[in-house]
Amino acid sequence: MKEKIILIGGGGHCKSCIDVIEQHEKYRIAGIVDLPEKLHQKIFDYEIIATDDDLSLLANEYKNFLITLGQIKSPEKRIRIFQALKESGVKLPIIISPLAYVSKHAKIGDGTIIMHHSLINAGAKIGSNCIINNKALVEHDAIIGDHCHIATGAIINGGVKVGTGTFFGSNAVCKEYIEIGENAVIGCGAKIIKNVPQNSLIFEP
């Protein structure tokens, strides 16, 4: 029997996460947490059953949670929810699409989702509460910090270090063995060929 899981965040990213979980062998969605004005609405076949204020009550009833709130400008809300869930003692399982490839020599942290057609190569380390989005590539020995979003089609080459809280945009690519600081925002299609300081905003191709 599949274990129940609660999704937190009912926007567009949630829909993509639902698609991954529906193909997953271990979990079935018991409900979604979102804004008060959306209570009892449905996303596909799944009801919005609670708001953020109900998390402590849900933690007494369910043991598995996934943060399905998107992350582009800031990871702040995802981090806050992640920390609250950790303190409540619930599980934040790793969710891996059956259409992704994750090397047995890679390591992945709690609450991270690896989405369709992503490739995580040998020696890569991915932190907790990350989004590795559809068709992203994380090459050998790359290190992705906690609370990062590696967006669709992004390429993280070998040995690259990505700091905590960073957003790395769709189809962006970085040269091997460089470092990207914490809380950076790398825009869509950017080409990163040198180290990036923390809190940087880079939007040029």
Is 190's pLDDT higher than 80?
yes
Together in a domain, 133 and 187:
yes
Give the pLDDT of residue 51: 94
Amino acid at 192: I
Task: Using a pLDDT cut of 70, give the percent of the chain over it.
Answer: 100
Domain total in the chain: 2
Do 161 and 111 reside in the same domain of the chain?
A: yes
Rounded alpha-carbon distances, angstroms, from residue 80 to 50, 75, 83, 182? 17, 9, 5, 17
202 domain residue, yes or no: no
172 shares a domain with 188? yes
What's the domain range around 73?
3-88
Do 134 and 81 share a domain, yes or no? no
39 and 110 together in one domain: no
Burial class (CB in 10 A: 0-12, 13-18, 19+), 102: buried
Q: How high is the pLDDT of residue 71?
A: 82
From 64, 88, 112, the end of a domain falls on 88
Work out the mean pLDDT of the chain and round it to a whole number: 95
100 touches 114 (CB < 8 A):
yes
**Same domain (yes/no): 13, 101:** no
Which of residues 88, 113, 132 is at a domain's end?
88
18 shares a domain with 71: yes
Residue 7: which CATH number? 3.40.50.720
pLDDT tens-digit series, residues 6-63: 999 999 999 999 999 999 889 999 999 999 999 999 999 999 999 999 998 999 999 9
Of 65, 59, 76, 57, whose CA–CA distance to 32 is shortest? 65
**pLDDT at residue 204, as a whole number:** 73
Task: For residue 72, tell me if it sits in a domain.
Answer: yes
Residue 183 has pLDDT above 90, yes or no: yes
For residue 183, is it within any domain? Answer: yes
| CATH number of the domain that residue 121 is part of | 2.160.10.10
Question: Are residues 83 and 99 both part of a single domain?
Answer: no
Query: Which residue, of 62, 88, 114, is where some domain finishes?
Result: 88
The answer to the question of residue 200 being in a domain is no
